[in-house]
Amino acid sequence: MKDFFVILGGMGTQATESFVHLLNKRTPAKKDQDYLNYCLFNHATVPDRTAYILDTTLDSPVEALTEDIRQLSPLHPSFFVLTCNTAHYFYNELQAQTEIPILHMPRIAVEQVVKSYSHLNRKIRVGLLATTGTVSSGVYHQEMEKHEQTELVMASKEIQEEVMTLIYDDIKAQNYLNEERYQYILKEMMEEEACDVVILGCTELSLMQAETLQTKFPVIDAQSELVDATIERVLSRR
């Protein structure tokens, strides 16, 4: 197969499935051959990224992800897609393993925030909902610092605990899309923290957003933006 890309997934598997579903759904296709060529690498046993960032004595996910990239690079994909926000903490280490570009999901999401909300003509108050690992890693902080018109708003301790419960206890552990908890979290970020928009910086939250019937709160879904960037990149090369 030529002119294909690789999806580095499995972190988690349900979220990866959501990414692929959205990718296929948004691809402008009228026949089989119009869809995108890709290889899905669902490496479900990659050690937990958040757990390692918070406690480096635990198993590191870098070795597993590095092995994946080294195995797949000789196939000469056009690019890699890394479908885990927290894994971008290791982005520089992973990109150093290959000359093949890896799309940077947090960067793409932040750039979309700036594009969508620059009309405010003031600081854009951007809330971040993500795992404690992603928050601690600073990957979104670093991207936000590149744009003077943005102001990063962190969740309170209480809301961050709610986010982790939603991601790990509800979605990962039980495959339970707890819409009530999700809507409560968004409401607190928008009304109590006065955010203009909230970035969904975890693919489990992206899965939650995709399955939520209705929400009045403005969000930028990092996974959704990565899907669009992936499709745009492929179609521009055809």
The string of pLDDT tens digits covering residues 22-66 is: 999 999 999 999 999 999 999 999 999 999 999 999 999 999 999
CATH of domain 106-222: 3.40.50.1860
For residue 49, give the amino acid letter: R
Q: Which of the following CATH numbers is that of domain 5-104+225-236: 3.40.109.10, 3.40.50.1860, 3.40.50.360, 3.40.50.720?
A: 3.40.50.1860
pTM of this prediction exceeds 0.95: no
pLDDT at 31: 97
Same fold, 5-104+225-236 and 106-222: yes
Low-confidence spans in the chain with pLDDT less than 50: none
Task: List the domain boundaries for the chain.
Answer: 5-104+225-236, 106-222
pLDDT at 139: 95
Told to judge if 39 belongs to the known catalytic residues of this protein, a careful annotator would answer no
Told to judge if 84 belongs to the known catalytic residues of this protein, a careful annotator would answer yes
pLDDT at 213: 66
pLDDT at 211: 86
- The residue from 84, 94, 113, 219 that is catalytic is 84
Closest CA relative to residue 52, chosen from 128, 130, 129, 137: 137
Q: Give me the phi and psi of 34, to 5 degrees please.
A: -80, -15
- The residue from 113, 202, 222, 234 that is catalytic is 202
